[in-house]
Structure 1
Amino acid sequence: MAGRVTDETVFDAALAVIAEQGYERATTRAIADAAGINEATLFRRFTSKQNLLRQAVRSNFTGFALDLDTPGDDVAADLVTIVSYYSRLYETRGGVVLTLMREAKFSPEVAAVLTEPEKLLERVDAVILHHQRRGALVVEPPRHTFFALVGPVMMRAIARRVDQRATQAPADPETVVHRFLAGHRPG
């Protein structure tokens, strides 16, 4: 008799199916098949597709620990922490991140699940504001700074996902931050 399929295996299967098919088209049967369990077991363990997605997203964010509670005086070090986190996230879960971002606008279920990642972005905003107040970064809306910072990492991951022949390595966080700071330090 085969052993119990772990929650992490089910989460991986759910995120992969959702990345490929989108949340609305991803059926619980397809997710259960990809995880190697039956659909009844999926519902018994997670009660609904939305709850499964919520737990999968939460598990993923726990797996990618991001310590932003105490920003320091070294803007580069804090930004490397942020870029490293998002680089790992986009390289391993870029497909589902993009799918969920796109679908959140139209699906209240998906939007509700993304409240936790939004809380993380608010913590990133606080770090950016800290460094803007210290005079280490140009003052602009924190989310603009965030997108300028992680945009190259996200685009590189998208390019690698779209073009299977792409040979570029994942972005180096220290290089990304160095280039970013060249254009985002005050006058």
Structure 2
Amino acid sequence: MHQLSIEEAVVAGRVCDKAVFDAFLEVIASQGYERATTRAIAEAAGINEATLFRRFESKQNLLRLAVRSNFAEFELDLDAPGDDVAADLVTILSYYTWLYETRSGVVLTLMREAKFNPEVASVLTEPEKLLERVDRVVLHHQQRGSLVVEPPRHTFFALVGPVMMRAIARRVDQRATQKPADPATVVQRFLEGHRQR
């Protein structure tokens, strides 16, 4: 899960899809989905507007593919959680740490705009599917007696809250010098208060 170099982004003279997705998400983070024009998106991606439409058909389809691409990078077998609650939570938190550190602007923008924009709301089904899989991991560990029994989403928010807030604080306060959170340390602290007694 890394930003592409220029060499990786341009393959045989063609800007790869991932480079277009990254550019598109950066434009959304700075301008919002509604105000992001296809001209600005194409310019940020280094392609012309006609190519953008030919390859992706519409701004909504481009958003859907960009969001799906970000979740496809999350190679996790969440359907088969293990016996080690800490290991499963570190895997989950590592992804969300990456997401909030690299995409916090676009995540917040899409969450805000989904309330009044049906195009954005329809695309956010991808993240919701992932959260449902995370819920199943939490339930698995609750049933094994490894976690306090509470609504799984409460557990999720308690787990990712510190990572999300740190990323938001760093985005808002340009003077913030905190390094990204270490998922293993966050999980260790989390489990001190969320293990079943």
TM over 0.5: yes
Amino acid at match of 2:89: L
Mean Cα deviation higher: 65-74 or 133-142: 65-74
Asked if 1:165 is matched to 2:187, the reply is: no
| Residue from 80, 88, 102 that aligns with 2:90 | 80
Structure 1 residue 30 corresponds to structure 2 residue 40: yes
Q: Which amino acid aligns with 1:98?
A: L
AA aligned to 1:169 is K
Q: Does structure 2 conserve the Cα–Cα contact (< 8 Å) formed by 1:64 and 1:89?
A: no
Counterpart of 2:53 in structure 1: which amino acid? F
Q: CA deviation at 1:139?
A: 0.9
Could you report, residue by residue, the CA deviation over 1:31-68 in whole angstroms, capped at 9, with x for unpaired residues? 01111111111111101000001111111111232221
Q: Calculate the TM-score normalised by the size of structure 1.
A: 0.96
Q: In structure 1, how many angstroms separate the alpha carbons of the residues matched to 2:168 and 2:71?
A: 20
1:181 aligns with 2:186: no
Cα deviations by residue, 1:53-104 (Å, 9 ceiling, x for unpaired)? 1111111111232221211111111111111111011111111111111111
Residue of structure 2 in register with 1:20 after alignment:
30
Mapping of 1:28-177 within 5 angstroms?
Answer: 28-177=38-187
SS of the equivalent of 2:14 reads: coil
Distance 2:112 2:151 in 1: 22
TM-score normalised by structure 2 residue count: 0.91
Mapped to 2, the partners of 1:63 and 1:76 lie a distance apart of 21
Q: How many residues align?
A: 186
Measured in 1, the distance between the counterparts of 2:153 and 2:189 equals: 18
Q: Give the root-mean-square deviation of aligned CA atoms.
A: 1.2
CA distance in 1, matches of 2:163, 2:32: 22
Give the 3-state SS of the residue equivalent to 2:196 in structure 1: coil
Asked if 1 retains the 8 angstrom alpha-carbon contact of 2:79 and 2:136, the reply is no
Contact 1:23–1:100 under 8 Å retained in 2: yes
1:158 to partner: Cα distance: 0.9
Unaligned runs of 5+ in 1: none
CA–CA distance in 1 between the matches of 2:171 and 2:77? 28
Q: Which amino acid aligns with 1:87?
A: T
Distance 2:196 2:70 in 1: 35
